[in-house]
Amino acid sequence: MNLNETLEIVSQTNPGMVRSHNEDSVTQDAVCGLVVLADGMGGYNAGEVASGIAVSVTTTEISQYLQHASPTDIDADSGDELGVVLLRDNIRKANSSIYHASQSQPQYSGMGTTIVAGLFYDNRVAVGHVGDSRMYRLRNGTLQAITRDHSLLQEQIDSGMITMEDARHSKNKNLVTRAVGIDAEVIPEIHVHKAQPGDIYLLCSDGLNDMLEDEDIESALYAMQSNLTLAAEQLIQMANDNGGRDNVSVILVKIKGEFAAPRRWLAKLFGWFKK
């Protein structure tokens, strides 16, 4: 199913005000409804190598697979929907690609990346993430994070050790507890959410949400929801105006209409009529 008509996607990435190079990578594939953002880490250019591998492996593999399969198909091995399985398996595949590159080439030693990926299908979005790159959703004017960081700070918030308010002032913002490509195996976190027409999804690297309060992101997205390109520029500009201490990347996805997957029996029926 071609989602080109139903989804409006805009992505932008910027090195920020301090860093000389950009270790973030973003890709989008409007036809199969896939967006991927990764924030690399590692010396020299290893960070951008890692994030580059992560987005290209996941995007290439998933879009190829979906040329002759539907994300709503049930995977026989796991019993899960194909959309979920594809995200999970390909984040793991990216993990082993990066891990092997870092094992075999000394200049890439220890490189890794965060990842957040969204696959839109059947009026839903499957979200896979590892690390502290986030997905937010703006619905009816309210912004809500729909991923939970794999970070030390989030663990401290969860355990009640530190309040959300104090967490804003924490100096431990940059420590992730999970990353792609660091170990031989990774556990991606996958959730499926219902998507509604009018929703705007924001994928971002921590260069955005470390520099801006959620309230600022919300008001900018809300005010500029009719012009996604401008909204993306505005978010990056706001992060840079506040210091832009890290690379800033955003992907915005607006749901313009319903995108229910054609039901199998219906598809078969149509197929039968076509004969």
Partner 1 sequence: MTAKLILSMDGVVIKEYPLSQERLTIGRKEHNDIVIDNLAVSGEHAAIITILHDSFLEDLDSTNGVEVNGVATKKHFLHNNDLIEIGKHKLKYITDEISQTSAADFEKTMLMRTPAKQAPSPAKAGDTSSFIKTQSVMAKPVDDKASEKTGKFEARAPIPVPAPPSPSPAAATAVPAAAIQILTGPNAGKELELVKNLTTLGKPGLQVAVLTRRPHGFFITHVEGATFPSVNGQVMGAQPLQMKNHDIIELAGVKMEFYLKG
Contact 7, 120 (CB under 8 A): yes
Give the interface size with partner 1 as a residue count (CB under 8 A).
Answer: 76
Pick between residue 78 and residue 105 the one whose CB is nearest to partner 1.
Answer: 78
Q: Is 171 in the site for partner 1 (CB under 8 A)?
A: yes
Stretch that binds partner 1, among 5-13, 59-67, 81-89, 101-109 (CB under 8 A): 81-89
Question: Listing from the earlier edge strand, what are the strands of the sheet with 112-121?
Answer: 24-29, 34-41, 112-121, 124-130, 189-194
Q: Is 130 in the site for partner 1 (CB under 8 A)?
A: no
In the numeric block, the tokens 């590692």 are attached to 42
What mask, x for binding partner 1 by CB under 8 A, covers residues 43 to 72?
Answer: ------------------------------
Q: Is 39 in the site for partner 1 (CB under 8 A)?
A: yes
In the numeric block, the tokens 């960081």 are attached to 149
As beta bridge partners, residue 34 has: 29, 119
Which of 30, 93, 242, 261 touches partner 1 by CB under 8 A? 242
Judged on CB neighbours under 10 Å (0-12, 13-18, 19+), 76 is exposed
Which of 15, 33, 71, 112 touches partner 1 by CB under 8 A? 112
Pick between residue 57 and residue 91 the one whose CB is nearest to partner 1.
Answer: 91
Dist CA 127 CA 21 (whole Å)? 28
Which tokens belong to 84? 């979920």
What mask, x for binding partner 1 by CB under 8 A, covers residues 89 to 108?
Answer: --------------------
Stretch that binds partner 1, among 54-62, 68-76, 206-214, 251-259 (CB under 8 A): 206-214
191 phi and psi angles, rounded to 5 deg: -135, 155
Cα angle value 35/37/39 (rounded, 5°): 175
Which of 2, 5, 18, 107 touches partner 1 by CB under 8 A? 18
Which of 21, 214, 263, 268 touches partner 1 by CB under 8 A? 214
Stretch that binds partner 1, among 1-9, 67-75, 214-222, 262-270 (CB under 8 A): 214-222
Sign of the alpha-carbon dihedral angle for 226, 228, 230, 234: positive
